[in-house]
Amino acid sequence: MAAYRLAGEALELVTAYENDLWEIGQLPDHKVLWGARWFLVHVGEPPAFADLPVDEQLAVNHAVHRFVAWLIATRRLRRAQTTWWRGGPGWASYCHDTGRCSTRCS
């Protein structure tokens, strides 16, 4: 896996993601954090993801989808007008494990 060097706000976002995963008892290993780093290098700011065509949103790695679900759950990203996230792996479990549901996600 490629190493992505981040600085500033991007690095702070990955750190917040990692801390939240530790908080709910998950092990945020390099494979999990890779998804966040990839997203920030290739997509950029979280709102840019919603501007991607649905096919591109769906084509990203599972670790990236997991990071996107976290961004939505923590209100750092408004969910796109698509439904790919509903019932997707990681979303509901993260949402319920952390108690951060802002809407009914089932």
pTM for this model (two decimals): 0.72
What pLDDT was estimated at residue 2?
57
pLDDT digits (tens, 9 = 90+) for 18-74: 999 999 999 888 888 999 999 999 999 998 998 888 888 888 999 999 999 999 999
Q: Please, what is the end-to-end C-alpha distance for the chain in angstroms?
A: 33
Domain ranges of the chain: 8-98
d(CA 52, CA 94): 23
Query: 104 pLDDT band (50/70/90 cuts)?
Result: very low
d(CA 70, CA 67): 5
What pLDDT was estimated at residue 66?
92
What pLDDT was estimated at residue 7?
82
Measured CA distances, 63 to 7, 103, 106 (Å): 20, 23, 21
